[in-house]
């Protein structure tokens, strides 16, 4: 728990550093303080044993990793198996695992959201993934790997003329045009920076052992999945 807390804090700090404007006139933001082992010990409260949940939850999280996270499960007839978006997939799995006990209940879209991202370092999850892939192979299904990457979504401003003003100001129009140009320049720089981060992450991935999903796929199918190694 201590290692996970420290890693989470460092990830947040890295994102803050990446998004912080590089403007010498602005004061630096103090870095986040890393948690201490003593702090984690003082805040920890042991949970009672729940054998059913301790088996069900990891399976659900691993299913999310296989069916979601931008990966693709291909059915025997060639169709892509879609169980929803990131949150939609979590809701689908949760609703299925409840066994229809409450017909009026909607799936919990946060129960399996982001899969094993928080527990992947606790143990080797390869046996879980291998079990899932054995089931898929028995159905004639296949799996396509997609390397996780960061993306930028830009919300376009309203097109000129879509909202008419009662008055027109040359100065306001010029200021709006300058602001749009600055936003575009900032977006271009951000996209370039993120693409550089993605390329670096792909290179680092090739220096490490493949993820547990890929290792499990190799065990079951005897080859690498499509999409691995990442281009």
**Which of the pair, 201 or 58, is modelled with greater confidence?**
58
**Residue 29 belongs to some domain of the structure:** no
The answer as to whether 26 is a domain residue is no
pLDDT-derived band of residue 68, with 50, 70 and 90 as boundaries? very high
Q: What is the mean predicted confidence (pLDDT) over 162-175?
A: 55
The whole-number pLDDT of residue 22 equals 57
Asked whether residue 93 is assigned to any structural domain, the reply reads: yes
- When comparing pLDDT for 5 and 191, which is higher? 5
Residue 188 in any domain: the answer is: yes
Q: What percent of the chain is predicted at pLDDT more than 90?
A: 45
The per-residue pLDDT for 107 is: 75
CA-based end-to-end distance of the chain: 34
175 pLDDT band (50/70/90 cuts)? Answer: low
What's the pLDDT band for 105 if we cut at 50, 70, 90?
low
pLDDT at residue 218, as a whole number: 97
Domain hosting 112: range is 49-158+169-221
pTM of whole model > 0.75?
no
**3-class SS string, 9-75:** HHHHHHHHHHHCCCCCCCCCCCCCCCCCHHHHHHHCCCCCCCHHHHHHHHHHHHHHHHHCCCCEEEC
79: pLDDT strictly greater than 90? yes
Average pLDDT over residues 126-147: 97
Nearest to 66 by CA among 216, 208, 230: 216
**For residue 213, is pLDDT > 70?**
yes
* pLDDT, position 35: 92
The answer to the question of residue 208 being in a domain is yes
How many domains is the chain partitioned into structurally? Answer: 1
* Separation between Cα atoms, residue 204 and residue 132, nearest integer Å: 27
What pLDDT, on the 0 to 100 scale, is given for residue 88?
94
Band of residue 8 on the pLDDT scale cut at 50, 70, 90: confident
Over residues 13-62, the pLDDT tens digits come to: 887 777 666 555 556 677 888 999 999 999 999 889 999 888 899 999 99
């Amino acid at each position: 728990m201590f290692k996970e807390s420290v890693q989470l804090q460092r990830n947040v700090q890295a994102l803050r550093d990446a998004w912080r404007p590089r403007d010498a006139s602005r004061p630096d933001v103090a870095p986040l303080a890393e948690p201490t082992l003593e702090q984690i010990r003082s805040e920890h409260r042991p949970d009672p044993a729940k054998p059913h949940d301790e088996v069900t939850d990891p399976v659900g999280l691993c299913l999310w990793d296989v069916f979601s996270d931008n990966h693709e499960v291909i059915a025997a007839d060639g169709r892509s198996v879609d169980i929803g978006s990131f949150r939609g997939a979590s809701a689908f799995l949760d609703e299925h695992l409840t066994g229809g006990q409450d017909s009026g209940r909607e799936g919990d879209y946060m129960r399996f959201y982001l899969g094993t991202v928080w527990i992947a370092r606790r143990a080797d999850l390869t046996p879980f993934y291998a079990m899932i892939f054995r089931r898929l192979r028995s159905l004639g299904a296949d799996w396509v790997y997609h390397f996780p990457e960061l993306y930028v979504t830009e919300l376009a401003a309203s097109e000129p003329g879509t909202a008419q003003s009662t008055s027109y100001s040359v100065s306001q129009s010029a200021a709006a045009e300058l602001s749009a140009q600055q936003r575009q320049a900032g977006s271009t720089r951000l996209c370039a920076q993120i693409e550089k981060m993605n390329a670096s992450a792909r290179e680092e991935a090739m220096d490490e052992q493949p993820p547990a999903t890929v290792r499990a796929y190799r065990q079951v199918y005897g080859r690498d999945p499509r999409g691995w190694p990442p281009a």
